[in-house]
A = this chain, B = another copy of it.
Amino acid sequence: MDIKVKTIPTGRATIKTVALDAGVSVAAVSKVLRNAYGVSEALRAKVLTSIESLGYRPNVSARGLRGQTFKVGVILLEIANPFLSQIMDGVNDVLSASNYQALMGMGESRMPLEASLIESMIDFNMDGLILIAPQMGGELLAKYARQIPMVVIGHHETTATTFDTINSDDQQGAVIAVNAFLEQGFKDIGMLSLVVDDLHNVNVVQQREIGFRTALAKAGLPTEDRIWRNRKNVLRQADEVEDYLLSGRAPRAIFCWSDIDAIHLVNCARKNNIRVPEDIAIIGYDNSSVAALTPINLASIDQSGRRIGSLATETLLSRIAGRTNASHVLIEPTLVKRASLIKN
């Protein structure tokens, strides 16, 4: 006589519930789930029917304990970055065609939070990580990369061996902007940059400054005192930009490190009856949605965020699949010409 009474399954369906319902073994259900070798069409059909009718979904924790979770983490450390949604579109383009899924975290640019988010995702046994514009240094990144497949966006460290990097060619972006100004006949060209604590060249803003200086030098123009660095404090940013513009020291053509700053500049110029682009020409960065709006009409460097996102994701998936040699890719940015650069 059978002592072990099969209990009526209650609460959430597990693989055991499915096996019971389909009248097969747990191993069989698992095989179907994993598309493993050795399942007849009849068995597969039975199992899938049960899964459907029970509304079964595999428990990710249990999966993670044994191996893959089919989840990748995306960590946005700079929420302000306006092309984040473009990147995410690219990420989802690639992931939706795979059986992976993205979960995201926001570091809010606060370092301990950033690190603990990364650790949480590792502790959740996620299969890989995409970091966007991390604040932490390369050594720390390398430490985490040893624990989980990782791709980093917005961090120019081509010597990294344990993780991949995908970047917009920020030097080239600055070069394109300067050349566009030159083409329009401007010679008095400046850059509105950002104060960064990070002294290394891995920083995106640093790369743009390098490109800016290179382009000026190539055109035979002086490179001294051409860069004005804004502080990061958002509240006073508008004032700082205004001070810069009205200081009398402002150049005739200004390459801005972000659309936000550029828009401040445009607004401010308009307010003070300075004509754009006749009196002053402006190029922003990111080609964010506001830049395109009729009242703004800001020329801007487009980073192809969507392509960066999809490429980063493909790179991550290949690393998850076993690749170990590091890959470092630069994507060419493009200039979107608008009324702040060329009178239409």
Contact = CB atoms under 8 A, between A and B. Distances in A.
A307 interface: no
Interface string A96-115: 00000101111010000100
Q: How many chain copies does the complex carry?
A: 2
A34 to B, nearest CB: 16
A117 interface: yes
A116 interface: yes
A336 to B, nearest CB: 14
Interface residues of A, number: 48
Given A105-B104, A106-B104, A293 B238 contact: yes
Contacts of A268: 295
Contact of A104 (B64, B104, B116, B119): B104
A113 B125 contact: no
Interface of A: 12, 57-65, 69, 71, 79, 85, 88, 92, 101, 103-106, 108, 113, 116-117, 119-121, 123-125, 147, 234-235, 238-239, 242, 264, 267-268, 270-271, 289, 292-296
A131 B76 CA distance: 19
Contact of A120 (B71, B85, B113, B147): B71
B59 A123 contact: yes
Given A60-B61, A103-B105, A235-B289, 20 more contacts: A12-B147, A57-B123, A59-B123, A60-B120, A61-B65, A61-B125, A62-B65, A65-B65, A71-B120, A85-B108, A88-B106, A92-B113, A103-B117, A235-B292, A238-B294, A264-B293, A267-B295, A267-B296, A268-B295, A270-B295
